[in-house]
A and B are shown apart, each in its own frame.
Chain A
């Protein structure tokens, strides 16, 4: 596969490490959320057959975490964003 890195351009997917569903960005606050919320966050997956937002890490590159929108049936990639931008857009800060 080829990933069009938003800063570095097209890169072979072999340079990247895959983590999983981009919902892993949405970590609950440990001081207010309990086991159930963390269980839902860490373990439960939508696992769609189709468009999937997912986290990839450019380990053999610039160390950016990316959110990639990829179709799990065709492997077509339609969007690549810096995970930091996505995290901020989802309200994450400090």
Chain B
């Protein structure tokens, strides 16, 4: 059913009896043309675009838990395309453009809100690096601005300007950056995929892969064997576990990233802000909570929970930047499993096994990539060739020395 303001009013006046299920709970069929493993944001977007943009059918999404239950429902909701390197920037700009038309496209209000993002600058070296990045963004058709200290101060006069250990010297801004209501992204894609006949199968864990003569035949699941011509894996932090079913090791480690939300507050911060001298970034949700985060805990983990040192580190960054939040209360912390890659950049690629495709390595930046990741993965699955904005996301790039290392940290996943 199509959503509209009229429909909302009509339903309100008739007791909301007409709202239909947003998705079915289908029984798995014996075989599909496409199986997408992972009912998170990327998997659902892949199925949606496969059906909608690439005209494919007989598609199933297999989710071990509930739809949108992974990192798409457990992140800090930021969208931006402020990347530096040629391998990344076109892809993330493509993603941002998809965000800009997403709600009308899938007829679901995901609250895509381009209230802007600023990355604060605290040293001359940082200014040089951000200038390089801003210019790279503009060269790729994205928007970027440099703000002076005074311009930042005009927007957020209550930041620590006068007693800072690391003074604010300006910022790089991307006005088109912002936030999106994360759960709604998963639900919007799920609903859109379901409407186009995609079978979304929850509580269906993949326990094995059937591979014959180097070709994928289907997957073993907690609900039995399901055949498939092509299988796309988009399982983020579980990438290594799932790909191990195909005998593959990946250039990925799984790490825990904690994120945080405060109690609801009247408007304090309009856009997204990152602190350049500590591990802290923050925005404020429409509901009023400060949504913030920092660094990963730093050790391999599948536990989906973190420890105190990082909680304290993030709070220290927050207080260093915003002395006025001392009495704001942290409401909830949570932890997700990040598929940290060896250069901080993702993979959307074929594998050596015919018919098996892999999407992962998103580190803690996967949410903003959701639309483009889905689109590009669908492109690869449908056409067997990479989308033009995702040609660099190859699994063999380390063998060839073609890393996409935005932070310049090298082959150590927990530093990206």
The residues of A with any CB-CB pair to B shorter than 8 Å are 1, 13-14, 18-21, 35-36, 39, 42-49, 52, 54, 70, 72-75
Interfacial chain A residues near B19, Cβ < 8 Å:
none
Given that A1-B307, A43-B398, A44-B250 are contacting pairs, would A49 and B302 also be in contact in the complex, using a CB cutoff of 8 Å? yes
State whether A46 touches B309 (Cβ < 8 A). Answer: no
B405 to chain A, nearest CB (A): 12
Interfacial chain B residues near A19, Cβ < 8 Å:
412
Q: Chain B interface mostly helix, strand, loop or mixed?
A: mixed
Given that A1-B307, A20-B412, A35-B399 are contacting pairs, would A47 and B299 also be in contact in the complex, using a CB cutoff of 8 Å? no
Chain B 27-48, CB within 8 Å of chain A: the 1/0 string?
0000000000000000000000
Q: Which residue of A lies closest to B254 (CB)?
A: A47
Given B250, B300, B398, which contacts A52 in the complex, CB threshold below 8 Å? B300
A32 to chain B, nearest CB (A): 18
State whether B251 touches A44 (Cβ < 8 A). Answer: yes
Given that A20-B412, A35-B399 are contacting pairs, would A45 and B253 also be in contact in the complex, using a CB cutoff of 8 Å? yes
Closest 3 CB pairs of A and B: A47-B240, A43-B251, A43-B398
Interfacial chain A residues near B253, Cβ < 8 Å:
20-21, 45, 47
State whether B241 touches A49 (Cβ < 8 A). Answer: yes
Given that A20-B413, A43-B411, A47-B240 are contacting pairs, would A72 and B302 also be in contact in the complex, using a CB cutoff of 8 Å? yes
Which residues 90-106 of B sit at the A interface, judged by CB distance below 8 A?
A: none
11 A–B contacts, CB within 8 A, in A order: A1-B299, A1-B307, A13-B299, A13-B309, A20-B253, A36-B399, A45-B253, A49-B254, A70-B299, A73-B303, A74-B303
Interfacial chain A residues near B219, Cβ < 8 Å:
none
Given A14, A43, A45, A72, which contacts B301 in the complex, CB threshold below 8 Å? A72
Interface residues on B, range: 20 to 34
B115 to chain A, nearest CB (A): 35
Q: Is B26 located at the chain interface by the 8 A CB criterion?
A: no
Interfacial chain A residues near B307, Cβ < 8 Å:
1, 13
Given B238, B249, B309, which contacts A45 in the complex, CB threshold below 8 Å? B249
Given A42, A72, A74, which contacts B411 in the complex, CB threshold below 8 Å? A42
Interfacial chain B residues near A1, Cβ < 8 Å:
299, 307
Bound state CA distance, A48 and B399, in angstroms? Answer: 22
Q: Which residue of B lies closest to A40 (CB)?
A: B249
Given B303, B309, B412, B413, which contacts A75 in the complex, CB threshold below 8 Å? B303
Q: Which residue of A lies closest to B309 (CB)?
A: A14
Interfacial chain B residues near A21, Cβ < 8 Å:
253, 300
Bound state CA distance, A46 and B251, in angstroms? Answer: 9
Given that A20-B253, A20-B414, A49-B241 are contacting pairs, would A43 and B342 also be in contact in the complex, using a CB cutoff of 8 Å? yes
State whether A72 touches B254 (Cβ < 8 A). Answer: yes
Task: Please name 8 further chain A to chain B contacts, defined as beta carbons within 8 Å, in addition to the given A42-B411, A43-B251, A45-B252, sorted by A numbering.
Answer: A1-B299, A13-B309, A20-B300, A20-B413, A21-B300, A43-B342, A45-B240, A72-B302
Q: Which residue of B lies closest to A50 (CB)?
A: B302
B33 to chain A, nearest CB (A): 30
B298 to chain A, nearest CB (A): 5
Bound state CA distance, A85 and B252, in angstroms? Answer: 27
Bound state CA distance, A75 and B253, in angstroms? Answer: 15
Given A39, A47, A73, which contacts B399 in the complex, CB threshold below 8 Å? A39
Bound state CA distance, A54 and B241, in angstroms? Answer: 18
State whether B301 touches A75 (Cβ < 8 A). Answer: yes
B167 to chain A, nearest CB (A): 28
Interfacial chain B residues near A45, Cβ < 8 Å:
240, 249-253
Given that A1-B307, A20-B413, A42-B411 are contacting pairs, would A54 and B299 also be in contact in the complex, using a CB cutoff of 8 Å? yes
Q: Which residue of B lies closest to A35 (CB)?
A: B399
Bound state CA distance, A26 and B299, in angstroms? Answer: 20
Bound state CA distance, A47 and B300, in angstroms? Answer: 8
B144 to chain A, nearest CB (A): 32
